[in-house]
Structure 1
């Protein structure tokens, strides 16, 4: 097995000025569906999941465990704020572009007015 020059890619974003009326901000089923669809479209593999809504329009937190690593999301509709965390391993295959596709798809789904991004190459 050929090992790539780094073991993984970690993408983190803070999404600000997100419309609180977007269903995925408060509805567990919608948030989960947006995440699952984005993962599948990016060509990554879901092996586990956990989502929780805080009720009374207070937000959703969720994680998808991927064969390649993970996706985590947290929403705060009252603040118009979402955090995203995507990590993929690159031991066997370089999954970096798939991670970036997933990341951009989720950012687009929430349509933030401002995005803070961070990209870290894990060794």
Structure 2
């Protein structure tokens, strides 16, 4: 289960109008970027939130990958989003593919600020383990 988990809090997006608010466009972007990076989408579920007037509001979605997943959530009222890309590195190292998807989705959102975290998941080899 060793892998790489990329996490971003994305602020003040300047993307094309509608990208944070239109479920179909956001889903198409995420699935396409996973495919282009060489990952294997198995399915996607994106949900369109509606405001009190019944108009499109934020979107939450996941792309389930053979290698693990992508998850994204948007807050168009503030121009913000969160993005997680997690890949397992069981049969091959998918770290570069994950970084490509992560960068391209963030790039499409055109944020003014991004807070990023990179988490290596799984057990370290014995010679790299840190004694507590």
With normalisation by structure 1, the TM-score equals: 0.91
**Cα distance per residue 1:42-86 (max 9 Å; x no partner):** 110011211100022311100000000000000000011010000
Residues 19 and 77 in structure 1, CA contact (< 8 A), matched pair in contact too: no
**Corresponding residue pairs, total:** 118
Q: In 1, distance between residues paired with 2:33 and 2:121? A: 23
Q: Which residue of structure 1 aligns with residue 12 of structure 2?
A: 17
- Is the radius of gyration larger for structure 1 or structure 2? 2
Structure 2: runs of 5+ lacking an equivalent:
123-132
Query: Aligned pair in 2 of structure 1 residues 13, 92: CA closer, same or farther (>3 Å)?
Result: same
SS where residue 106 of structure 2 aligns? helix
Query: Which among 6, 13, 26 is matched to residue 31 of structure 1?
Result: 26
Kindly indicate which of the two structures has a greater share of residues assigned to helix: 1
Residues 3 and 121 in structure 2, CA contact (< 8 A), matched pair in contact too: yes
**Structure 1 residue ranges, 4+ long, deviating more than 2 angstroms after superposition:** 19-22
Residue 66, structure 1, aligned to residue 65, structure 2: yes
RMSD: 1.3
Residues 46 and 62 in structure 2, CA contact (< 8 A), matched pair in contact too: yes
With normalisation by structure 2, the TM-score equals: 0.85
Which range is displaced more, 108-117 or 53-62?
53-62
Q: Which residue of structure 2 aligns with residue 3 of structure 1?
A: none
Query: Aligned pair in 2 of structure 1 residues 95, 53: CA closer, same or farther (>3 Å)?
Result: same
Structure 1: runs of 5+ lacking an equivalent:
1-5
Q: Which residue of structure 2 aligns with residue 50 of structure 1?
A: 45
Q: In 2, distance between residues paired with 1:60 and 1:25? A: 7
